[in-house]
Amino acid sequence: MSIFLIKTLTSVFYIGYSKFVPGTLASLAGFLVYVFFIKGNVALHLGLTILVTIIGFGLSARAEAIFNKKDARQIVIDDFYGMWVSLLFLPYSFKLSLAGFILFRIMDGLKPYPIYKVEKINGSLGVMGDDLLAGIFVNITLQVLLRLISLNF
């Protein structure tokens, strides 16, 4: 696979090259794609999430080698797909999606245990795994809030 294609995909079409919070911008891109195109279509959401997960795990270690840096700043496919994991199997609403975006950025920034441990792993698992866990934690939090507290989103 060409270096150009690896850089394009792992930087989410060059969002990762932004000098201003590239991870947040990639998460925002994931949020916007979800809000404007996926809109709670579970089959589409699941299919795209699986596809991006496969691409991310398949290419992020190669991107690290290209950038010659562990979890290089330009690699933001993990933030993009972590956002989608946060919203997977949740009913669609803009408010709930926005809450997911905010919680995902908080969780990804704080990196509570075991997220910070996974981030230290070399290769694709270290790049992609922390955002996968952050997305899962956010998803579980939102699922619990929806069911137990019955928040009206």
pLDDT of residue 151 exceeding 60: no
Q: Let me know the angle formed at the C-alpha of 77 by 108 and 50, rounded to the nearest 5 degrees.
A: 100
Predicted local distance difference test score (pLDDT) of residue 74: 97
pLDDT of residue 20 exceeding 70: yes
DSSP classification of residue 123: S
Predicted local distance difference test score (pLDDT) of residue 40: 85
User: Residue 80 is part of which domain span?
Assistant: 3-149
Number of domains into which the chain is organized: 1
Which tens digits make up the pLDDT trace of 114-148?
999 999 999 999 999 999 999 999 999 999 999 88
Predicted local distance difference test score (pLDDT) of residue 104: 98
Which tens digits make up the pLDDT trace of 62-86?
999 999 999 899 999 999 999 999 9
- Crossing angle of helices 77-87 and 42-67, rounded to 10°: 160
